[in-house]
Structure 1
Amino acid sequence: MILKSSNLTEIIKPRIKEVGLSFYLLKKNKLTLAAFYVIIAIIVLAILAPFIVPYPSHISEEANAANKLLPPSQEFIFGTDELGRDIFSRVIYGTRISLTTAVLAVGLALLIGVPMGAIAGTIGGWVDETIMRITDIFLSFPPLLLAIAIVSIVGPSLNNAVIAIALSWWPWYTRLVRGQAVSLKERKFIQAAEAIGTSKWKIIFSHVVPNTISPVIVQASMDMGGVILTIASLSFLGLGAQAPTPEWGLMISTSRNYFLNAWWYSIFPGIAIFITVLAFNLLGDGFREIMDPKTRKN
C-alpha cells in the first residue's frame, strides 16, 4: 500500500509541476492571457445567449417593418436589419452557433485524424503508405475549396458544412500525429511495451495517442479561428447556415444589399468574427510557446 502511494505521488507531482509552470507562463505572456480572457468571455456569452439577449424573439424570422434598418441607438445598440430585428441580439446568439459548429468540426477532424496518424506512424509499412497517400490526396486541395465541393454535393446546411470542414481538416492532424508516433515508437517505454507482448492497438491508444496530446491541443486551438472563418465563409456563399439562423457569415452576406445605407448591419458581425478569430489565433500561439520549450521566452 505504501509502495502504491509512493508511486502515485511520483506520477502526480511532475504533472502538478507542469500545470503550475503552464499557468505561470500563461500569466507572463500578457497577449495570450488577454486572448484567454476574451475567449472565456465569448464562451460565457455563447452559453448565456438565450437568457441575456434583449430581444429573444428576433432570433427567428419575426419581422417588424416599423423598425426596419434603424441605426445604433439606446434601444437597439447595434441597430436593426431589413426585417426590423435587433442585430445585437442576433450577433450575441451567433456566438453560440459559431462556437458550437467550430468545436464540432474540430472534434470530428480530431476523431478521424488522430487515430489514423497514430496507426500510420506506429504500424508503418503498407498501412502507413496507404494512409499517408490518402492524406496526400486530401491535402492537395485547399481546405475551403474542398469544403465548398463537399457541401455543393450533399446540399447546403450548417450540419453539412460542419461535416465538410471536418473532412477537409483531418489530414493535418494525421500528418502531425504520424510524425509524433514515428518518433515515439523509438522511445524505450514503447519498446518495453512491445517486448512484454503488448498488442499494437493497446500501444497505439494507451501509449502513443496520450503522448501526442500537447501538439494536438496547440494545433486544435489554432485551428478554431480558421474553422470559424471557414464556417462564416460557407454561410456567406449560401452553403452553410440558412435563414433565419443568426450566423455571422450569413448576416454579412445578407447585409451586402444594404451596406451603403446601413453600414452597421455588416460591421458588427464582422467585428465579432475578427475578435473571435484573433483571440483563438493568439491563444494558439501562446499555447505553442508554453508547450514547446524551444520557443519559450525567458
Structure 2
Amino acid sequence: MLNKAISLKTLQPKMKELKFSIYLLNRNRLTQAAFIAVILLIVVALVAPYIVPYPTHIARENNPQDKLMAPSSNYWFGTDELGRDIFSRVLYGTRISLQTALLAVGLALLIGVPLGAVAGTIGGYVDEILMRITDVFLSFPPLLLAIAISAFLGPSLRNAMLAIAISWWPWYARLVRGQAISIKERQFVRAAKAIGSSTSKIIFQHVVPNCISPIIVQASMDIGGVILTIASLSFLGLGAQAPTPEWGLMVSTSRNYFLNAWWYSIFPGLAIFITVLAFNLLGDGLREILDPKTRKN
C-alpha cells in the first residue's frame, strides 16, 4: 500500500504537466495543424510503397508515350520527361526525405549531445579542447560545409546524410554544454557527487536526461532545415542520384522543362515547402509547451 501511495504521489505531478501540455497544444491552432501535418507525413512515409498508384514508376521504368503529360485523372500531378507519374514519385519521396532527415539528425545528436554534456559537466581543459574543436566546425556555414564534405565523399544520399550530420552536431554540443553548466550546480547533482557517483553516471543519468526538452525542440526544428539541406544537395547533384525520387533531385531535373511543364517542378517544390513549414511550426509549438519562458499569456 505504501509503495502504491508513493507511486501515485509521484505520478500526479506528471499527469498535471501532461494535461497542461495538452491544454497548450489545444490553444495553439498553428501547432495543432503542424502536428496533424507531421503525423500525416509520417504515415505517408510508412505506407508509401503500398499506396502509390504506379509503383513501377519509382525506379527506372520509362513510358515515352506519356511523357510530360499535364495533371489529369490518370496522373494527378502529371508526368515527367520519362512518362513517370509525379504523384507516385512525390509520395515515395516523403519516405526518402523523412528517413534521411531523421537519420542525419539522430547521428548529429549521437555526436553532439555526449560531447556537449562531457564538456559542460567536466569543464576545465576538457571543455576548452572540445569547444575549440566545435568552434572550428561552427566557423563554416552549415550548408557550405555540407557541400564541401559531400563533394569530398562523392555524390550519394548516404554521403549527403553523413555530411549534414557532421555539419550539424556542433549546434547540439553548444546547446547541451550550456544546459550542463547550469544543471551540474543543482542540488541533486551535488548530492550524486557526494555519494561517490562516477562522472559518467552523473552525465548520462542526471545531466543528459535534464537536457531532453531543449534537445527535442531543437531537433524538431532542425528536421525541416535538414530536409531543405538534403534537397539543396540533391539539387546541386551532390545528394540523391537518378532514378531516386527525391524532391530536390526532381526539382533539379525539372528546370529544363519548366516553361512547358510547370507541374514537374511545382509539386515537388510544394512538398518541400509544406514539410519544412510543418516541422518549423511544430518546433515553435513544442518550444512554447516545453519552455515556460516562451509561453504566451
TM over 0.5: yes
After TM superposition, list the pairs within 5 Å mapping 1:129-278 onto structure 2: 129-278=128-277
CA-CA distance at 1:9 after TM superposition: 2.4
After TM superposition, list the pairs within 5 Å mapping 1:27-42 onto structure 2: 27-42=26-41
Query: Which blocks of at least 5 consecutive residues in structure 1 are unaligned?
Result: none
Query: Which blocks of at least 5 consecutive residues in structure 2 are unaligned?
Result: none
Aligned to 1:110: 109
Partner SS for 1:16? helix
CA-CA distance at 1:38 after TM superposition: 0.6
CA-CA distance at 1:8 after TM superposition: 2.4
For 2:279, the aligned partner's letter is F
State how far apart, in whole Å, the 1-side matches of 2:69 and 2:133 are. 52
Aligned to 1:64: 63
Partner SS for 1:240? coil
Partner SS for 1:228? helix
State how far apart, in whole Å, the 1-side matches of 2:149 and 2:259 are. 34
CA-CA distance at 1:217 after TM superposition: 0.2
CA-CA distance at 1:24 after TM superposition: 1.1
State how far apart, in whole Å, the 2-side matches of 1:8 and 1:129 are. 42
CA root-mean-square deviation? 0.8
State how far apart, in whole Å, the 1-side matches of 2:64 and 2:94 are. 26
CA-CA distance at 1:16 after TM superposition: 1.8
State how far apart, in whole Å, the 2-side matches of 1:11 and 1:113 are. 32
State how far apart, in whole Å, the 1-side matches of 2:75 and 2:5 are. 62
CA-CA distance at 1:99 after TM superposition: 0.3
Q: How many residues align?
A: 297
TM-score for the superposition, normalised by structure 2: 0.99
Partner SS for 2:204? helix
State how far apart, in whole Å, the 1-side matches of 2:175 and 2:92 are. 34
For 1:269, the aligned partner's letter is P
TM-score for the superposition, normalised by structure 1: 0.98
Aligned to 2:92: 93
CA-CA distance at 1:245 after TM superposition: 0.2
For 1:109, the aligned partner's letter is A
Partner SS for 2:296? coil
For 2:245, the aligned partner's letter is P
For 1:69, the aligned partner's letter is L
State how far apart, in whole Å, the 1-side matches of 2:180 and 2:231 are. 34
Partner SS for 2:79? coil
After TM superposition, list the pairs within 5 Å mapping 1:123-134 onto structure 2: 123-134=122-133
State how far apart, in whole Å, the 2-side matches of 1:3 and 1:178 are. 39
Identical columns (%): 74
State how far apart, in whole Å, the 2-side matches of 1:111 and 1:255 are. 36
For 1:87, the aligned partner's letter is I
State how far apart, in whole Å, the 1-side matches of 2:254 and 2:281 are. 29
CA-CA distance at 1:19 after TM superposition: 1.6
State how far apart, in whole Å, the 1-side matches of 2:17 and 2:213 are. 12
Aligned to 1:279: 278
CA-CA distance at 1:293 after TM superposition: 1.0
CA-CA distance at 1:76 after TM superposition: 0.4
